[in-house]
Structure 1
Amino acid sequence: MANQHDVLRDTTRLASSTMVLQVVFRVLTFALNAFTLRYVSREIIGLVNVRLTLLYTTVVFLAREAFRRACLSHSAQQSWRHTIHLTWLAVPLGVCWSVILGWVWLHILEVPDPAIIPHYGTGVLAFGFSAVIELMAEPFWVLAQAHLFVRLKVIAESLAIIVRCSVTVTLVLLWPHWGLFIFSLAQVLYTTLLSLCYIVYFAKFLGSREAEKKSFPLHSMMEFLPRRSASQDFLDRKQAWLAWSFFKQSFLKQILTEGERYVMTFLNVLSFGDQGVYDIVNNLGSLVARFIFLPIEESFYVYFSKVLERGKSIRNQKKEEIAAASEVLESLLKLVTLIGLVIIAFGYAYSQLALDIYGGSLLSGGSGPVLLRVYCLYVLLLAVNGVTECFTFASMSKEEVDRFNYIMLGFSLSFLCLSYYMTTWLGSVGFILANCFNMGLRITHSLYYIRKYYHGSPYRPLSGLLPSPAVICVLVLSAAGTRYSEASLCCDLGWAYRLAHILVGALCLSAALAAVVLSEGKLTHFIRSHFLSKKPKQKV
């Protein structure tokens, strides 16, 4: 039982630290976008943030996602030699995807006008190459994640982000006419430094007293390299087949995750300039989802994978671990649901002000506020889906994962069709509404699985989706009050009125938080015990 508590403690610490990292990452990224908007055209920002970033994320996701999920399951019981061999397969796979998708990006997709966006070919090559560089550190990342090396991930990504932002700002100030050269160089430097941080850390860590104290399974850097052995197979067949199941699913999940970018890239429903504006609004709307919900999903996937035995019913697992997993799932659902509802309650009245502060009339004068308001609903659905799928994928058997692939295929096809037609009908808002619809379908499937999983037991983790009536009442009153404040004080009457509008929101938010503390005692205890714990930090 103590071991299970240690896993939960380390997992929540990993989630908390990653949240801080994501806050820093998003703040720097938003500051960078606000800066470059004044020196670089919207067309270049749209091309970099949508098309080239899509190339990079697609290569990386398809090459490593399946291996990560397979290798982080039952990490305490697996052969690390087999795990390292499996993770190295991400590198040749990444090279293949970079070549194939790079050719598509250069010869199939519409090439931008060189007079407006020069050096497009260089950008494609640089972003594809950067994906391969990042995959070189995959074995190190998996070992670090499995052993919950908290500070390593935070420091590595923070340093890489700072370098990328510094290089971009410097080059934009000195040579803005370089255009895509600037973003290409910054991207390659980012992935190179990120990979080097993991490699250098393990080069110093292995063989140290700290490694011996932690009983780390590897003892030298040579053990990170793949090698054949006469006494055992090169790969663990069960683990490899699980990775294959996740690999087939990764195509579909990537389409659902980056669906609007695929539609914009392949169907040309928006110009590069409009894509730039939509991407900025999309990034602002997903701020909370990226720096809170995503770290929770990634970290607690590790927790559920360690606590639950994949593919076994609750009757065949330890009662104390099932009880702990149920309690954690219920608290996580309550936490993300409340955060999502707060965003909906306050997002409507503060969307226009946020966009005006960030990008001026370029963002706040057109369809930006409507996009951001609709995105608030999507954030709530993202939050619930992240937690429910986190539990679902950690507990599913290989056969259930295979069956879910067919369901994901249906979700993907419906999403693509719906995105195209709704965008043709409603413009950029259609992307968000299509995402909401498909996210609702995914949530429905996960809720059905969780309910079936706990059927016949006294545990009801899905009750976490129901906030207390007191919190609901305060949020409804807050939404009405801030909407009236916006109509009366914002946003064309000067900064004094804007500050008054912000003060009204701060008071309403304080009342909502007070209602949560007073009426959600179980959740408050969970946050204090795990996310705000003052226990000594893990050394890495």
Structure 2
Amino acid sequence: MASDTREPSSDVLLSKALTSVSSLVLLQLLSRLFTFVLNQALIRIVSPQVFGTAAIQFELLLSTILFLSREGVRNALLRASDKTQETKRAAVADRNLITNISVLPGLLGIPFAVSVALVYIYTTSTATRSQPHFGFSVTIYALAALFELLSEPAFIRAQNELRFDLRVRAEGIAVALKSVVTFMILWMGSVNWALPAFALGQAAYGVTLLATFMAAYRGNVTVWPKKVTTVVHGNVMSQYFEPELLQLSAVMTSQSLIKHFLTEGDKFMVSRFSPLADQGGYAIASNYGSLVARIVFQPIEETCRVFFARLLAPSSVTSDSLRTASHILLSILLLFIHLLLFLETFGPPYFAVAVTLVLPPRFLATSAPAILRVYIHYIPMMAFNGVLEAFFSSASSPVDLHAQSRWMVAFSVVFVFAAVGLARSVAMGDAGLIWANIINLACRAGYAALFAAQYFKSKAVEDFRWARIVPPKSVLGVFAISAAVTRWSEQRYQNNLSALGAQLGHVAVGGCCLMACLAACIVFERAALAQACSFVRRRPA
């Protein structure tokens, strides 16, 4: 797939991974900035009902088509470098067999997109279907998904060549055009064109993505599987796909069905059981609540998948690469522990001040504020689960994947019972779905953490110890005191938080506590921070 199939050293791979993280974080920051500005404009133009249809139901339709069509193939082909080590010496033919697999998402996505779109149209509520241009908008969303799937061979090629700059350029331009097209149609057209505006914006995103990738490779990308002739023990064989990776792709694709339900289960339930206005509130809360996750954690998760898959390839794994993987995983988890501490300390007491700044008055009457409050606890759980599952998908064998699939079924049952029970609670409502997601992610993260511990134990890596991700007691004590002080401050000012003076006083208390927590981390964890910084600054000779 790549022109140079030599496996990079762990230092080279780490350097490229760090570069990719910074590039993808910048991409997510810019794209979410566009999205945030666009959403701020849209929620003041369209009704909560329209926003709920587009941001919950249409996005769920799009993610279902994309996730189930390509996720398994993407994750499987990240391991292609392991195979190309031996095929480089044998023939280019085997690499072509692997490349053929990258075409499957686009080919299989066509009937799948049609099927999912038809099921959605005929099973959605009458109130949703009666909106202007509904059928036309669904059709455009399905086409937008197909445009993205057609760019998949080029995307996978760029990933395996570690050309993250190409991805940043392609997705950055696509997000910008999506935002411009959506807003311009809404601004120039009538209210009846709200749904098509979202759909055509998504179509612009897909077309731009495909055009940018194709231009970068000058059209030199496989779009249809080619029969490959190989000679095995003197016997001439003709085939299309590399058998082991095709089987792994099938296993991961079947597993992605369960993962998709667990990831998007809350949207499934909201889209079926909540009024359209509350769906709009849920959508805006989800968009704002997950900003940090999308800007920071998603790039880290995606880079970890590439990094661990290449570093721990069975044909090239060494004691050095194992120690590097152990150190990187524990370092990331340590950072996420600190994120958890900061969010739990400062999130709840300052939520009332923050929510009035981002939500317009008509969304304050929806479920959005209650959902945003739960995101304080949801964000760190997304972070932990993302990096741990990235490690699992990179280091697991087919046997491990089958075992995880069985546990995923059990986690699905837990999620459904938790979601139904909590969502029916009068005190929680739609926010109960987020709590159900937290329980679901905790189960999945716990399973992946157990796998990581067993994996490094089986490889005799003594450096992997969970105690290394726990901050010192002195740091935990400062956070505990700060949590008590900020909550006392909230109680003191809560009856007068609408006044500017009260807000400033409450924020000043939080600022002092925040500085104390940062100082504690620097003073008491100086050695750990210095080690992490020196490790990050390592560069290949």
Q: Which of 238, 250, 256 pairs up with 1:250? A: 256
**Residue of structure 1 equivalent to 2:35:** 29
Pair 1:295 & 2:299 matched: yes
Q: Is the 8 A contact 1:130 1:187 kept in 2?
A: yes
Q: Displacement of 1:51 after TM fit?
A: 0.4
**Residue of structure 2 equivalent to 1:163:** 177
**Residue of structure 2 equivalent to 1:89:** 104
For residues 498 and 333 of structure 1, the distance between their equivalents in structure 2, rounded to whole angstroms, comes to 34
Q: Displacement of 1:367 after TM fit?
A: 4.8
Pair 1:480 & 2:480 matched: no
Q: Displacement of 1:143 after TM fit?
A: 1.2
For residues 161 and 199 of structure 1, the distance between their equivalents in structure 2, rounded to whole angstroms, comes to 17
Q: Is the 8 A contact 1:293 1:336 kept in 2?
A: no
AA aligned to 2:323 is A
For residues 524 and 16 of structure 1, the distance between their equivalents in structure 2, rounded to whole angstroms, comes to 19
Q: Displacement of 1:186 after TM fit?
A: 0.7
Q: Is the 8 A contact 1:331 1:526 kept in 2?
A: no
Q: Is the 8 A contact 2:281 2:366 kept in 1?
A: no
AA aligned to 2:474 is A
Q: Which of 162, 166, 179 pairs up with 1:148? A: 162
**Secondary structure in structure 1 of the residue aligned to 2:9:** helix
Q: Which of 443, 446, 469 pairs up with 2:445? A: 443
Q: Which of 515, 522, 525 pairs up with 1:517? A: 522
Pair 1:283 & 2:287 matched: yes
**Secondary structure in structure 2 of the residue aligned to 1:309:** coil
**Residue of structure 2 equivalent to 1:208:** none
Bigger CA drift: 279-288 or 42-51? 279-288
Pair 1:46 & 2:52 matched: yes
For residues 498 and 486 of structure 1, the distance between their equivalents in structure 2, rounded to whole angstroms, comes to 10
Q: 1:10 to 1:395 in 2, by over 3 A?
A: same
Pair 1:272 & 2:286 matched: no
Q: Is the 8 A contact 1:415 1:438 kept in 2?
A: yes
For residues 346 and 307 of structure 1, the distance between their equivalents in structure 2, rounded to whole angstroms, comes to 37
AA aligned to 2:229 is A
**Residue of structure 2 equivalent to 1:196:** 211
Q: Displacement of 1:501 after TM fit?
A: 3.5
Q: Displacement of 1:50 after TM fit?
A: 0.5
**Secondary structure in structure 1 of the residue aligned to 2:33:** helix
Q: 1:447 to 1:142 in 2, by over 3 A?
A: same
Q: Displacement of 1:443 after TM fit?
A: 1.9
**Secondary structure in structure 2 of the residue aligned to 1:460:** coil
**Residue of structure 2 equivalent to 1:71:** 77
For residues 337 and 465 of structure 1, the distance between their equivalents in structure 2, rounded to whole angstroms, comes to 7
AA aligned to 1:99 is V
| Structure 2: tracts of 5 or more residues without a match | 1-6, 85-93, 231-237
Q: Is the 8 A contact 1:74 1:305 kept in 2?
A: no
For residues 237 and 486 of structure 1, the distance between their equivalents in structure 2, rounded to whole angstroms, comes to 61
**Residue of structure 1 equivalent to 2:117:** 102
AA aligned to 1:281 is A
For residues 412 and 444 of structure 2, the distance between their equivalents in structure 1, rounded to whole angstroms, comes to 11
AA aligned to 1:152 is L
**Residue of structure 1 equivalent to 2:513:** 508
Pair 1:395 & 2:395 matched: yes
**Residue of structure 2 equivalent to 1:259:** 265
For residues 321 and 539 of structure 2, the distance between their equivalents in structure 1, rounded to whole angstroms, comes to 22
AA aligned to 2:176 is I
**Residue of structure 2 equivalent to 1:228:** 227
Write the deviation string for residues 55-80 of structure 1: whole angstroms up to 9, x where unpaired. Answer: 00110000000000010014254243
**Residue of structure 1 equivalent to 2:498:** 493
AA aligned to 1:129 is L
Q: Is the 8 A contact 1:17 1:150 kept in 2?
A: yes
Q: 1:516 to 1:414 in 2, by over 3 A?
A: same
Q: Displacement of 1:463 after TM fit?
A: 2.8
Which structure 2 residues correspond to residues 456-475 of structure 1 after superposition, within 5 A?
457-475=461-479
Q: 1:374 to 1:242 in 2, by over 3 A?
A: same
Q: Displacement of 1:475 after TM fit?
A: 2.1
Write the deviation string for residues 151-209 of structure 1: whole angstroms up to 9, x where unpaired. Answer: 21112111111111112222222224211111111110011111211111121xxxxxx
**Secondary structure in structure 2 of the residue aligned to 1:454:** helix
AA aligned to 2:515 is S
Which structure 2 residues correspond to residues 259-408 of structure 1 after superposition, within 5 A?
259-265=265-271, 268-310=272-314, 317-364=317-364, 367-408=367-408
Q: Displacement of 1:277 after TM fit?
A: 0.5
TM-score with structure 1 length normalisation? 0.89
For residues 538 and 449 of structure 2, the distance between their equivalents in structure 1, rounded to whole angstroms, comes to 34
Q: 1:27 to 1:475 in 2, by over 3 A?
A: farther
For residues 399 and 360 of structure 1, the distance between their equivalents in structure 2, rounded to whole angstroms, comes to 50
Q: Displacement of 1:440 after TM fit?
A: 1.5
**Secondary structure in structure 2 of the residue aligned to 1:230:** strand
AA aligned to 1:132 is L
For residues 199 and 499 of structure 1, the distance between their equivalents in structure 2, rounded to whole angstroms, comes to 52
| Structure 1: tracts of 5 or more residues without a match | 204-219
Write the deviation string for residues 130-158 of structure 1: whole angstroms up to 9, x where unpaired. Answer: 00100111011111111221221112111
Q: Displacement of 1:523 after TM fit?
A: 4.7
For residues 502 and 190 of structure 1, the distance between their equivalents in structure 2, rounded to whole angstroms, comes to 40
For residues 246 and 226 of structure 1, the distance between their equivalents in structure 2, rounded to whole angstroms, comes to 20
For residues 74 and 340 of structure 1, the distance between their equivalents in structure 2, rounded to whole angstroms, comes to 35
**Secondary structure in structure 1 of the residue aligned to 2:424:** helix
**Residue of structure 1 equivalent to 2:418:** 418
Pair 1:111 & 2:126 matched: yes
Q: Displacement of 1:258 after TM fit?
A: 0.5
Q: 1:289 to 1:413 in 2, by over 3 A?
A: same
**Secondary structure in structure 2 of the residue aligned to 1:221:** coil
For residues 534 and 35 of structure 1, the distance between their equivalents in structure 2, rounded to whole angstroms, comes to 44
Q: 1:457 to 1:276 in 2, by over 3 A?
A: same
Q: Is the 8 A contact 1:381 1:439 kept in 2?
A: yes
Which structure 2 residues correspond to residues 204-215 of structure 1 after superposition, within 5 A?
none
**Residue of structure 2 equivalent to 1:126:** 140
Q: Displacement of 1:114 after TM fit?
A: 6.0
Q: Displacement of 1:298 after TM fit?
A: 0.9
Q: Displacement of 1:365 after TM fit?
A: 5.6
Q: 1:129 to 1:150 in 2, by over 3 A?
A: same
For residues 332 and 73 of structure 2, the distance between their equivalents in structure 1, rounded to whole angstroms, comes to 26
Bigger CA drift: 41-50 or 509-518? 509-518
For residues 91 and 487 of structure 1, the distance between their equivalents in structure 2, rounded to whole angstroms, comes to 56
Q: Displacement of 1:228 after TM fit?
A: 1.6
Count, aligned residues: 512
For residues 174 and 463 of structure 2, the distance between their equivalents in structure 1, rounded to whole angstroms, comes to 43
Q: Is the 8 A contact 2:333 2:384 kept in 1?
A: yes
For residues 131 and 408 of structure 1, the distance between their equivalents in structure 2, rounded to whole angstroms, comes to 26
Q: Displacement of 1:262 after TM fit?
A: 1.1
Q: Is the 8 A contact 1:112 1:120 kept in 2?
A: no
**Residue of structure 1 equivalent to 2:234:** none
